[in-house]
Amino acid sequence: MPRNNLRPGSGGGRVAGSESHLSNKVHMADDFDRIVGALDRFDESRLLAVCYFCVGAVSPVVHKWGARETTAAFDEIVDIFGVGDEKILNENYLAKLESLPESEQDDSHKPAYYVMRAIGVASYCVGASSDRTRLDRTKSACVSVFNLARDFDFECKDDCDAAVVTACCTLELDAVVKLLSGSMDDSQARRLARNHSNALAKAFDDALPGVVRNHNW
């Protein structure tokens, strides 16, 4: 699975375009850096709520192109985050993710490549549930989702001129981080994360046909 820098990558964006389009890309990346930086103030429970947001957001990719065992493993992890039972997520779950058939796919012209990217998000989130580097892993999960959103927008550039999925990712994560900064119990935090995750998941789901058309799958 790919390594992720904490700075959103330049890949997945339009290689040519107007100055205003490029400026919007820069502003979104800057906004995203600001949002992720706000995670520094979060405690364990809030970081895990953000992980729930991330892993749920990319689930349509797994449901579209993942093998049956991959979909089942991914859904189990989403459900575990949903009920706040992350204490059971141990190295066995990481090993299971690493053994999934798409986990080593590096050919971006194959559907399994995007499943591998989603598995990477899940791996960061599972690692965050029990690791001392929880903050860094949560940030890496967020960046992974953002970069996948950028790639989807690039693949769908002929269908829509705007960076729809990237904008939705930035908007929904910003809302989650701001709202989680307030006072609420863990169950409220999970419901909030789920609602905003569902909104981003819909953006990914809506973009799937464009990715299929672009690759002639």
Contacts of 138 (CB under 8 A, 6+ apart): 39, 42, 47, 48, 50, 51, 54, 124, 125, 128
Q: What's the rounded Cα separation, in Å, for the pair 197 and 184?
A: 18
Higher pLDDT, 21 or 34: 34
pLDDT for 90 equals 87
pLDDT for 27 equals 65
Q: What's the rounded Cα separation, in Å, for the pair 68 and 78?
A: 15
Please say whether the beta carbons of 169 and 145 come within 8 A. Answer: yes
Examine the pLDDT at 12 and tell me if it is beyond 50. Answer: no
Domain map (residue ranges) of the chain: 19-215
- The pLDDT tens digits for 55-87 are 999 999 999 999 999 999 999 999 999 999 998
pLDDT for 6 equals 52
Examine the pLDDT at 215 and tell me if it is beyond 70. Answer: yes
40's tokens: 């520094």
95's tokens: 């090993």
Q: Using CA atoms in the order 115, 120, 124, 129, what is the torsion angle rounded to 10 degrees?
A: 40
Examine the pLDDT at 165 and tell me if it is beyond 60. Answer: yes
- The pLDDT tens digits for 103-150 are 999 999 999 999 999 999 999 999 999 877 899 999 999 999 999 999
CATH class of 19-215: mainly alpha
Contacts of 137 (CB under 8 A, 6+ apart): 124, 125, 127, 128, 131
How many CB atoms neighbour CB 176 within 10 A?
Answer: 26
In this structure, of 27-31, 103-107, 141-145, 164-168, the range with the lowest mean pLDDT score is 27-31
Q: What's the rounded Cα separation, in Å, for the pair 205 and 142?
A: 18
